[in-house]
Chains A and B, each alone.
Chain A
């Protein structure tokens, strides 16, 4: 115990012997780590923002589809009897908000032209809570509960169709009985999300009108849910699946329905790991060089320690402890620098062109507000300390193998 104490004391004093060298080493660890934390925060904040947007504009956290549905974007099969599912969803305490949708492809016509679109039948009240689509309305208003004939379309689509607020729009579709059916709507509101897919290809109508149009009774395509706690998504999925055991339905998470987001995420995570390895590879070379230099400078001193009766393991431990101190100090500094950056850009936001790319598929902000990526932060911080320790292994082993008499001849 005593010996560890003195080694800790020696190690601490040793790293301050060459202040400039220590400062440079610490800076290299700190800047490396800071850059990494910053980058991880950007990617993770972006991912969270994408998930948030995706679950808040369309999918929700959990969705219930018919068992036969394979295309989770445009469900081809319908849930024939949704009442027991509504009941089950309402009994589940994990569920915060929920709403049904009927989704199908159809044709909309204005006096001038027609276009193929995705028609989404919504329960106006429930959808207003569940998703944010109402917040993107730039002209007119949202569908009120009693309005059977209101339709919402995107600004882009409206321009293409050359229709204005209050004008007539006919939605045509092949009903479930094979007949062609059509309904007349009036343009109630125009939304602008910035996503060409939303603004140009999706229209919203009341669920009841959609059901009448399809001649499908109470049938719906999907029930989406927003959970109180996203972390518990798997357990909520399990519980709901259990409740609905006897119904011909499937319960999926947003991960399953938005697999392209998940695969982007995996790709980004892989890149983060590669960057981490590269940064710490460079940092490791720097630390290794420092430790090796300081080892060669102190061979005589190590010889003296050994002559006085220190064990080789003490000398090796001393070098490792020095590396631990460098690693921890660099880690703390890096965290401070990184946190300052993240806090600053968490408040002020970073404009990122990547928003445009994602924004093609769904509404997306052009500014990212950074948040701490705690898991990655802890992982990288440990990696910084570990890198430092690993760099010390070779010098430590050399120190442990020193020949006393020869080491004493070094001046």
Chain B
């Protein structure tokens, strides 16, 4: 399997545009965005609804392709990758945390964390051990064998965090990870992410429009109408 070894490298966007076509109408979600993200950053993307936060994170995560402009992981231009290569890139270099329904409902917490390592073809004994270890780090040791439906929203998000960081990705992308949580649980999740960012030196990019959440970020990029304010 082709691996992407980026080590600790910079992520840069230059003049990225994203135009969605829906029902013959063009929606320009990102209008020429340029941005640099340094290794180890704890970066928030802020902005009102429809400002392009999710679009930006999708492009960063190789889930979608920009209409024009370039995205670099170090020296590598994501635009030069095929869909299959993007798939491998996501598997080895990016951790994802979404707003909700992050987990495969038919797998237990520990199986969800293992899933990525399984796709990476890691040895079964080792991946089980790593997954349990990771669940310990997010404080869910006792719930390893529960299914997502048997976990609270906050616990589910913690499992997602464990899964996102378990294979030491270049960057963890979190699209409104706290949107479905109450402020107390949200703060705890942010604390966890900040802790992992500090101790494991993993880059986090997350979006939110919640001032309380944003206040935890070390740097905030504010989007408005697809542009940085």
Known: A14-B106, A304-B104. A3 touches B118 (CB 8 A): yes
Is B42's CB within 8 Å of the partner chain A?
Answer: no
Q: Quick one: which of A2, A300, A312, A403 has the most chain B CB within 10 A? A: A2
**For B118, what are the chain A residues with a Cβ–Cβ distance below 8 Å?**
2-3, 6
Known: A2-B121, A309-B119. A404 touches B92 (CB 8 A): no
Quick check: B84 and A311 within 8 Å, CB to CB?
A: yes
A269→B115 CA distance, assembly (Å):
50
Known: A301-B105, A411-B101. A309 touches B116 (CB 8 A): yes
Quick check: B106 and A307 within 8 Å, CB to CB?
A: no
Q: Main secondary structure on chain A at its contact with chain B? A: helix
A187→B101 CA distance, assembly (Å):
92
Interface size class of A (residues with CB under 8 A): 20 to 34
8 Å CB contact of B106 from A13, A310, A411? A13
Is B187's CB within 8 Å of the partner chain A?
Answer: no
Quick check: A6 and B106 within 8 Å, CB to CB?
A: no
Known: A2-B118, A6-B118, A310-B119. A305 touches B87 (CB 8 A): no
Known: A309-B90, A405-B58. A300 touches B106 (CB 8 A): no
> Which chain A residue lies CB-closest to B112?
A308
Known: A2-B124, A308-B119, A309-B116. A405 touches B64 (CB 8 A): yes
- Shortest A62–chain B CB gap in Å is 62
**For A306, what are the chain B residues with a Cβ–Cβ distance below 8 Å?**
87
Is B96's CB within 8 Å of the partner chain A?
Answer: yes
A309→B121 CA distance, assembly (Å):
12
A311→B104 CA distance, assembly (Å):
16
Q: Quick one: which of B87, B96, B124 has the most chain A CB within 10 A? A: B87
The A-B contact count (CB < 8 A) is: 60
**For A10, what are the chain B residues with a Cβ–Cβ distance below 8 Å?**
104, 106-107
**For B90, what are the chain A residues with a Cβ–Cβ distance below 8 Å?**
307-309
B81-122 contacts to A (CB < 8 Å):
84, 87-88, 90-92, 96, 98, 101-102, 104-107, 115-116, 118-121
Is A17's CB within 8 Å of the partner chain B?
Answer: yes
Is B61's CB within 8 Å of the partner chain A?
Answer: yes
A312→B88 CA distance, assembly (Å):
12
> Which chain B residue lies CB-closest to A314?
B119
Known: A301-B105, A309-B90. A404 touches B84 (CB 8 A): no
Quick check: B107 and A408 within 8 Å, CB to CB?
A: no
8 Å CB contact of A408 from B63, B92, B115? B63
Q: Mark B138-175, 1 if CB is under 8 A from A, else 0.
A: 00000000000000000000000001000000000000
A19→B170 CA distance, assembly (Å):
41
> Which chain A residue lies CB-closest to B164?
A308
**For B64, what are the chain A residues with a Cβ–Cβ distance below 8 Å?**
403-405
A306→B90 CA distance, assembly (Å):
9
A404→B60 CA distance, assembly (Å):
13
Q: Mark A308-347, 1 if CB is under 8 A from B, else 0.
A: 1111100000000000000000000000000000000000
- Shortest A10–chain B CB gap in Å is 6
Quick check: B91 and A300 within 8 Å, CB to CB?
A: no
> Which chain B residue lies CB-closest to A310?
B119
A1-19 contacts to B (CB < 8 Å):
2-3, 6, 10, 13-14, 17
- Shortest A326–chain B CB gap in Å is 16
**For B87, what are the chain A residues with a Cβ–Cβ distance below 8 Å?**
306, 309-312
8 Å CB contact of B63 from A300, A301, A312, A404? A404
- Shortest A136–chain B CB gap in Å is 66
A67→B19 CA distance, assembly (Å):
87
- Shortest A375–chain B CB gap in Å is 39
A308→B159 CA distance, assembly (Å):
14
> Which chain B residue lies CB-closest to A309?
B91
8 Å CB contact of B92 from A2, A309, A311? A309
A305→B106 CA distance, assembly (Å):
12
> Which chain B residue lies CB-closest to A407?
B63
A13→B108 CA distance, assembly (Å):
11
A402→B141 CA distance, assembly (Å):
35
**For A408, what are the chain B residues with a Cβ–Cβ distance below 8 Å?**
58, 63, 98
A77→B87 CA distance, assembly (Å):
81
**For A2, what are the chain B residues with a Cβ–Cβ distance below 8 Å?**
118, 121, 124
Known: A304-B98, A308-B90, A309-B91. A3 touches B119 (CB 8 A): yes
Q: Which 4 pairs, one residue from A and one from B, show the smallest C-beta to C-beta distance?
A: A309-B91, A405-B64, A13-B106, A405-B63
- Chain A: residues with CB nearer than 8 A to chain B? 2-3, 6, 10, 13-14, 17, 300-301, 304-312, 403-405, 408, 411
- Since A300-B101, A301-B105, A405-B64 are in contact, a sample of 11 more A-B pairs with Cβ atoms closer than 8 Å, ordered by chain A residue number, is A3-B118, A3-B119, A3-B121, A6-B118, A10-B107, A307-B90, A307-B96, A308-B91, A308-B96, A311-B84, A405-B58
A selection of 19 A-B contacts at a CB cut-off of 8 Å is: A2-B121, A3-B118, A6-B115, A300-B101, A301-B101, A304-B101, A304-B104, A306-B87, A307-B96, A308-B96, A309-B87, A309-B91, A309-B119, A309-B120, A311-B84, A403-B64, A405-B63, A405-B64, A408-B63
